[in-house]
Structure 1
Amino acid sequence: MQAQQVITDPDPYAPFLLSQAIRAGNLLFVSGQAGYGDDGAIVGDGDFDAQADQAFRNLERALRAGGSSLERVVKVTIFLTSMAHFPRIVALRRKFFRPPYPADTIVEVRALYTPEAMIEIEAIALADVVALSA
């Protein structure tokens, strides 16, 4: 089995030498998706709801690029800079996921890759059997 890099357009992570996602067989491993816009800048400075919504949309884009979708996510890890936002995560899970909900770990961290970021979401999903073109 060969690992395949998944690239999104835009790909603001390219300068950091990491992949948006890696596809291995029918599994897709998505790197942490923060609330960044197409220009790579964090949206809604200080606005958790705006960042969280954008982070889920970025996750969705990476999943699609890798031949998957939100419906096929089996595990997510959500990093928050404050657990005070936990109730919002429950609401967002209801908005973006459907039963059976994916396994989930929510972790409070002191900081993310930039001081403005308040949330980052990584995921593992099932992907289509058809291989991606390189």
Structure 2
Amino acid sequence: MSDKPVPVSIDPDPLEPFALAPAWRVGNLVFLSGQAALAEDGSIVGEGDFDLQLGQTLANIERVLESAGSDLSKIVKVTIYLTDMANFPKIVEARKKHFTPPYPADTTVEVSSLALPELMVEIDVIAAV
């Protein structure tokens, strides 16, 4: 495969209204845009419910990775944005549930808000293909 960047597309694409690609594949790596609790139609899933939002976010990551020819087991780097660090223990549990050792490199930060005020978590990843 060439190292020429190739956009990854999904259909339907809930990120399209925001003028960004779900991901880009460069060589054997795929770089995902931040994924959040958006349904395929762009509606917010789990408003006020962190567990539902985290589950939808992870499902969206899986969907984009699959479109890029990858999966959760090939994630090498995760960046997690939380609007409340009190949810960090749930992040640790999700890592143990969805990833296996050796775990991906990770950065987790608390932010005052995300792109849409109802969102509580956003995750971007880099994965091998």
TM-score, length basis structure 2: 0.96
CA apart distance, 1:48? 0.2
Deviation readout 1:11-50 (Å, 9 max, x if unpaired): 0111211110000000100010001112111111100000
State yes or no: 1:101 paired with 2:103.
Answer: yes
Distance in 2 of aligned mates of 1:109 and 1:41: 22
Specify every segment of 5 or more residues in structure 2 that has no aligned partner in the other structure, as ranges: none
Aligned length: 127
Distance in 2 of aligned mates of 1:63 and 1:39: 19
The AA in structure 2 aligned to 1:106 is T
1:1-134 equivalence runs, <5 A:
1-127=3-129
The AA in structure 1 aligned to 2:18 is F
Distance in 2 of aligned mates of 1:14 and 1:39: 10
3-state DSSP of counterpart to 1:32: coil
TM-score, length basis structure 1: 0.93
CA apart distance, 1:89? 0.3
Distance in 1 of aligned mates of 2:111 and 2:77: 19
Distance in 2 of aligned mates of 1:69 and 1:50: 21
3-state DSSP of counterpart to 2:77: strand
Which consecutive segments of 4 or more residues in structure 1 shift more than 6 A?
none
The AA in structure 2 aligned to 1:101 is Y
Identity value in percent: 55
Distance in 1 of aligned mates of 2:5 and 2:98: 27
3-state DSSP of counterpart to 1:33: coil
3-state DSSP of counterpart to 2:90: helix
Distance in 2 of aligned mates of 1:30 and 1:19: 8
- RMSD, aligned CA: 0.7
Distance in 1 of aligned mates of 2:43 and 2:86: 24
